[in-house]
Every structure is written in structure tokens, then in C-alpha cells.
Amino acid sequence: MQQQPKGAFRRFLVTPAGKATLVAITILLVFASFVYVETLIAIPVFLLFGLAVPIWSGLKAPRFLALSGLVVILLVAPIGNAAITQEIMTPLAAATSSTGVPYSNGSSPVMQAAVVSPYVGGTSTNFTWTVTLYPQYLAYPNSTMQWLNLYVSSCPGATSNNSPNCSAGYSFWNLNSSSYPGFSVSTPLPNATGTTTATFHFAIGSEGIWDWQMSLAYYNGSAAHLNYTFLVGDATYNGLEGPVIGSFSTVYVALLPTLYLDVLLFLGIPFYVVLLLYMVFKARERRKQDAARRAAGPAPPEAGPPASPPNAPGSSVPPIRSAGTGAAATSSAEAVPTESACPNCGAVVYPNETTCWKCGAKITASAAPLPSSKSS
């Protein structure tokens, strides 16, 4: 009762509809794990549903496994890219600076509600970066805000033009509140003792996915030196994504080659390496089986049915003529073949037989005739 469903499921998987269903399920699971969970999780998911399940169900042909894996790779990248592009074009939540010393007094962040608006725009859009500053939360007594920097770059988390995160030559702007004409603040920073709002206006002018960061320089009156407070960005680069300049299709096309490369490196290589190992293992197993069959030698011939005795119903052997007297009897005995004894087992072998019906031994013309068949 419990084995029937599993057998039915296996039989379904080897049908054309079952194969298509298995490939579709693999695509969805690999896409979900690759985009929404973790790349390292997508690898075993791909190996499980792209190799293990098909082999378990009987789809063991390397050609099918290789082609179905290629279909998964070719479709996961564009499907996943659509989800990633939509995610990139969705505005992030407002950012704040750290609450730890020396970035603040340990209770509340100095920089809060930092955003860029609009988040998606065109090459002519004049974007606005806004941040609310709380000098009362500075880390040390007698500290005063000095200036605010806005870093805009094509390199995630870059705060200079030689970031270790990117190769040289990336786009980078450092907009300083002391000299940048597009900066405005409700209260000049060195004089601000209460909450104040600062803004930067800047037109990037080029399509792409940009990144930004802010830093606040303040004078530490207790130690008589400058300290810097940064916004808390992503866990990898400490950068903030945005703005995005271009349409959905523009961003999609720009991201697709990179995503294909990631899928091939992180999913394709492990998949085909495991498939190659499986093919090598199966080839070795077949060679061992062939060697074992050759060592066993050819199979012995199967013994045929025993010959019908003389005068038995259905026998094709003519009955033996009884011995007579005189010349006619002698001539008749010489003309009719006689029974003989098998030289191997002694069984009665009838006329015109070439092999013994009992043991299969070859009967030669010199086989001894039975005493009963000799003429008197």
C-alpha cells in the first residue's frame, strides 16, 4: 500500500510530462534559494533536484542530466535577474549612524533619517540627499559639529577614489558641506546645538546603479581632535544603494551578464563536476561488469529435448526392421543404419544423430553399435 505511490511517482517522472515538471520544479527551487536565501544553499538544492532525484527516478542518461542542468542554468539567471532588478529599484529604508562610542554617546545616533530622493530617476534628475543631525548625541562633552561629507560613487561603500572594493577608475564625488554650493542646512554646523536638517542637491547625469555614504566630522573638545561618524550601510561594503538612474529594462540588461556569470560559477561548475564524477563512476562499474562476464566464459549450450524412442508417437525415426534369414535379410541389415552407444555416457543414440541427447557429446561415425543391432 505504501510502495505504490512511490512507484507511481517514479513512473510519472520518466514520462515527457514528468521530465518537464521535474525541470520546472528545479528551476523554481534553485531560483528561490539563489535569490532569496543564499548562494551556498542553492548549490545543494541544484544537486539534489538536478541530479539525485532524476537518477533515483531512473533518468540516468548523462545526456538528459547535462541538458536539463543547462536548461536550469539558462533560465534561473533571467528569472532571478527580474526579481533582483525589482528589488534594486525599490527604495531602501532611511539610514542612521552608529550608536556606539565614539560615533555617538552610546544611546542615540547623531545622524538619522538619511535618504536620497527620488530613489529612481533619469540622467537629468537633480537628486536630494537629506539627513537630520543631533549634536546633543555627540560622544564627548564640549564637542561641536564641523562639516558633513556626501560620497557618491559607482563603487559600493567608497569614501575615496582608491577604495579596495573596486578597481581604479570608478566614478566618485566627495561633496563637502564647507565648499559645495548645493549644500544647505537649517543652522550652520559649527554653531548648531540642537536638531538640524542638512541637504545636498546633485545631478549625477549617468545611467547606472549608484552608491552613497555620509560622514560627519566633529571636534572632540575633551581630546582636542577630530572624530568622524558614518552612516550604517550594508554589511559587506558599509555603503547605501541608490539612486538608480534608468528604466527597469536598462537596469535588467546591465545586471544580466553579471548574474549569468555568478550562476555559471556558483551553480554550473559544481553541477557539472558532480555529473562528470557520476559518469566516471558508472563507466568504471560497466567495465568491471564486462570483465566479470568475460572471465566467466561463454555460457554452456542448453540441452535439447530427448530424442523420441523408436516407434514412439511423433518420432521421425523409421522403425528398425527385424532381422530375417538368408541373403535378403543380410542385405536389408546392411542397408539400414543401426543404433549406437554414446562414447561418453553410454546412452542409446539413434541413427543419424550427431550429438548425444543425454549428455550432449559429439557422436562420431566410429561409435560402437549396440549388440542388439548387430546382424546374427
Q: Where are the beta strands (DSSP E) in 76-178?
A: 111-117, 120-121, 127-133, 144-153, 172-176
Per-residue confidence (pLDDT) for residue 304, from 0 to 100: 56
Half-sphere exposure for 376 (CA within 13 Å, toward CB)? 7
Q: Do the beta carbons of residue 109 and residue 138 sit within 8 Å?
A: no
| 3-state helix, strand and coil shares in percent for the chain, rounded to the nearest 5 | 40, 20, 40
Per-residue confidence (pLDDT) for residue 66, from 0 to 100: 96
Phi, psi dihedral angles at 372 (to 5 degrees)? -70, -20
Cβ atoms < 10 Å from Cβ of 226: 11
Per-residue confidence (pLDDT) for residue 334, from 0 to 100: 45
Each residue of 301-314: pLDDT tens digit? 655 555 555 554 54
Phi, psi dihedral angles at 116 (to 5 degrees)? -120, 140
Q: Packing angle between helix 62-88 and helix 269-296, nearest 10 degrees? A: 170
Q: What torsion, rounded to 10 degrees, do the Cα atoms 34, 40, 46, 48 define? A: -140
Phi, psi dihedral angles at 73 (to 5 degrees)? -65, -45
d(CA 216, CA 135): 10
Per-residue confidence (pLDDT) for residue 26, from 0 to 100: 96
Please name every residue paired with 116 in a beta bridge, in sequence order, or none if there are none.
Answer: 129
Chain centroid offset of residue 361 CA: 62
Per-residue confidence (pLDDT) for residue 303, from 0 to 100: 55
Each residue of 184-216: pLDDT tens digit? 999 888 888 899 999 999 999 999 999 999 999
Q: Do the beta carbons of residue 114 and residue 197 sit within 8 Å?
A: no
Q: Which residue type is seen at 200?
A: F
d(CA 310, CA 303): 20
Please name every residue paired with 127 in a beta bridge, in sequence order, or none if there are none.
Answer: 202
Per-residue confidence (pLDDT) for residue 361, from 0 to 100: 79
Chain centroid offset of residue 14 CA: 20
Architecture of domain 111-246 in this structure = Sandwich (2.60)
Per-residue confidence (pLDDT) for residue 259, from 0 to 100: 94
Query: 3-state SS string over 97-113?
Result: ECCCCCCCCCCCCCEEE
Q: Do the beta carbons of residue 27 and residue 79 sit within 8 Å?
A: yes
Cis preceding linkage at 118, omega within 30: yes
Per-residue confidence (pLDDT) for residue 38, from 0 to 100: 87
Per-residue confidence (pLDDT) for residue 370, from 0 to 100: 56
pLDDT < 70: residue spans in the chain: 1-6, 297-338, 365-376
